[in-house]
Amino acid sequence: MPQFQNIPKSVFETILGEESLLEITHFQLKNRSEALNFIMTYGFDLSKASDLEKVWSYHRVAVEYFESEILPSGSKVPGPIRNREELGEIVNLFDLEEQPDLIEKSLRKWSCALLKVMHILVHLDHDLFSSFKDEIQYQILRPLQEHVHETEEGLFLGEGQERVELVEFQVKPIKHTYSAVTKLLSKKQAIAMTLLDRVGVRFVTPWVSQIFQVISYMVNHHMLSFPHVIQHGGKNSICPTEVFFKAIKKYKNKWDTHEFCEYLNEQIQDTETRTYALSENPFSHQDFKFLKFINRQLLNVRQKNGDPYFKFFYPFEVQVLDEKTYKSNLIGPAEHDSYKERQREEALRRLFGKGFNIWEP
């Protein structure tokens, strides 16, 4: 009769999508041979020198991540799992039933946490962005940047009568690997392929009404293909679309007048306390407001080995904010450092489990 009593409930929950792998706090394998088979199925043959060194490189980066991002300044990951010489073999990070004394029981949560970070690093290292970063950025960003013009009169999206005044235009810096690890650790449903904002731009306009002008310009001038927008990636906590179009109807499309802007601001203030849903991002403060959407672009990329071009979709984020909202987001509880600290706290919980004190010896 097939047996499953040795498979923890948490494994079934992970397979069936009821729980995240990163929530598992204990997983035991029978022996070294089973651990090697587990790693082989995962994707690495440790009998091959190239695979073995690659896995050790993930171990090294995971240790560096802990010591630069998670632990108090100057603190180190415990030596028996930090140092390659002391650890001996990668398989020794696993809890092996037949060799329970390979690592002290008090360090088991540390080794489990290290394996979780290594898992995330593997996935980040094997997505499309890691292989085609330069081409992805060039093909997505160049067409957007070509529409932004800095003149003696100021910064504008577009030219002529259709141009939209801008306060800022920013290209999102590439997310550091450590930042991506923290993001994936902190968000329960996040996986590497759902990182939708590795490429992005931000438009900042003088007034709220111009946020919609930016989007209108982008559609009319084919800067984005709106059928490729990812619905669940959008968020608008600045001005509900219904409110904006109500104002448009009232002022007969004269959205560049002082009266229109005043009326729109009044309607927004009246709506804020009633209609804005809580952010889907649990780490965003309630005072943090923004408008963003995720579009996908179909890219043509030549493979590194010289094979013919192939096509794939890649997402990019567009943020559009008015100047007042943009400046408000930079200060107080909504600012970036506070957001990152809330992410870090959740990452710690998922790495070690609730109530585990990493500062205890």
pLDDT digits (tens, 9 = 90+) for 93-125: 998 888 888 788 888 889 999 999 999 999 888
Give the per-residue pLDDT at 260. 77
Give the per-residue pLDDT at 54. 96
Note if the pTM is more than 0.85: no
Backbone angles phi, psi at 319, to 5 degrees: -105, 140
Q: Could you identify the residue written with the tokens 């590795």?
A: 198
CATH architecture of 128-240+276-348: 2-Layer Sandwich (3.30)
Instruction: Tell whether the model's pLDDT for residue 286 goes beyond 60.
Output: no
Q: Estimate the crossing angle of helix 209-220 against helix 258-275, to 10 degrees.
A: 100
Give the per-residue pLDDT at 111. 92
CB atoms within 10 A of CB 88: 11
CB atoms within 10 A of CB 325: 21
Instruction: Tell whether the model's pLDDT for residue 271 goes beyond 80.
Output: no
pLDDT digits (tens, 9 = 90+) for 202-230: 999 998 888 999 999 999 999 999 999 98
Where along the chain do the CATH 3.30.460 domains lie? 128-240+276-348
